[in-house]
Homo-oligomer: A and B are copies of this chain.
């Protein structure tokens, strides 16, 4: 199975992205992915107890058994901490898009990313939606990719193609994210389209598994956003035998995980101000949870991240970070291996001497540019 770092819209999907005036810079800020066929859908969301209005809306709609037709996403405003009016704005966005598409309002999902605590400028959105819908096309994915970015410096897409019952199936995801990235998702949005025929239960399970092995293994600054959403739509246009389990399910999940991991790594590569892409693997942990805790403790240590920026082989900071996580490692059993630091890609291994489990996480360094970006962002 091949994962490619580009966007290939699966059969039956259309996309577009435009500038509707939410961003003062005039950059694109409104995107849509539309399926001409009814789609099964699933979502994974932030664990932040403060949830943005679009997250509330998507959770509700995805808890039902219905089909879906479109995702509308805006950047420049998170529609979070905006109370009852925020939820009403999210509903209006979905409803207005549905009317233009000729579908029912509950067939539309929404997502937002940007500043927290300000109301969505609804006139921009309602004014832009007509143009957004009119411009939907099979070649519009690149425009959608641009319209969901905030502090990102490049667009992010990945695709997988595989065979299921002699039919070609495509999975394609686009994502945004560059800061406020922590495990259990972050200020990241990811929209995935597939033409696979798959049951709702299998789609849900495959997405959870793929997210656990990708977006939940990256951290930029340990800060968890209120808006994180990964949404997938499956419209069955590939006409493959419906995936419900067995080998086909395994293949689908592997392809989906491949797409998600490719996108997750792109987010780390685009981390605000980052100069390094760091892969940290914890070995010899008692169980998978402990391995992940150890790797994340290192990845989230500001001191470690500064040392990486300085190409400073200060392995004491790795030791201190693991110890601070509370894992009862013994000094004599604990080993650290730092790869060469004078490269863009750095590999770190730690051996805890407590068992046989391991886990890998991905992170970036902490740089003066990260601080400047986040001192000025509002």
Would you call B319 and A377 a contact (CB within 8 A)?
Answer: no
- CB contacts (< 8 Å) of A179 on chain B: these are 303
- A81-B331, A314-B378 given; name 15 further pairs at CB < 8 Å: A49-B322, A50-B320, A50-B331, A116-B314, A116-B319, A116-B320, A117-B316, A223-B320, A224-B323, A226-B320, A306-B374, A306-B375, A310-B374, A366-B371, A368-B368
Residues of B within 8 A of A328 (CB): 49
The answer, among B222, B309, B326, for a CB contact under 8 Å with A375, is: B309
Q: How far is the CB of A363 from chain B (nearest CB, A)?
A: 12
Q: Provided the pairs A117-B315, A303-B179, A375-B306 are in contact, do residues A224 and B50 lie with their beta carbons within 8 angstroms?
A: no
Query: Is the Cβ of A302 less than 8 Å from the Cβ of B222?
Result: yes
Q: What string of 1s and 0s marks CB contacts (under 8 Å) between A153-177 and chain B?
A: 0000000000000000000000000
Residues in B whose Cβ lies below 8 Å from that of A374? 302-303, 306-307, 310
Alpha-carbon distance A223/B317, docked complex (angstroms): 9
- Chain B residues, CB < 8 A from A302: 221-223, 302, 366, 370, 374
Q: A342-369, CB under 8 A of B: which get 1 and which 0? A: 0000000000000000000000001110
* A372 is an interface residue with CB less than 8 A from chain B: yes
96-116 of chain A: CB within 8 A of chain B? 115-116
For A306, the chain B residues whose CB sits under 8 A away are: 370-371, 373-375
List residues of chain B with CB within 8 A of the CB of A223.
Answer: 301-303, 317, 320-321, 324
> What class of interface size applies to chain A in its complex with B?
35 or more
Chain B nearest Cβ from A61, distance in angstroms:
20
A187 to B81: give the CA distance in the assembly, Å: 37
State whether A331 touches B83 (Cβ < 8 A): yes
Please tell me if A312 contacts chain B, counting CB pairs below 8 Å: yes
Residues of B within 8 A of A367 (CB): 371
User: Which residue of B has the minimal Cβ distance to A375?
Assistant: B310
A8 at the interface (CB under 8 A from B): no
Given the complex of chains A and B, what is the CA–CA distance between A375 and B365 in angstroms? Answer: 10
Q: Does A80 contact B (CB under 8 A)?
A: yes
Flag if B326 contacts A376 (CB, 8 Å).
no
A226 touching B323 in the complex, CB below 8 Å, given contacts A49-B329, A221-B302: yes
A323's partner among B50, B322, B329 (CB-CB below 8 A) is B50
> Complex: how many Å from CA A220 to CA B144?
40
Task: Judge whether A182 is part of the interface by a CB distance below 8 angstroms.
Answer: yes
- Nearest residue, chain B, Cβ from A179: B303
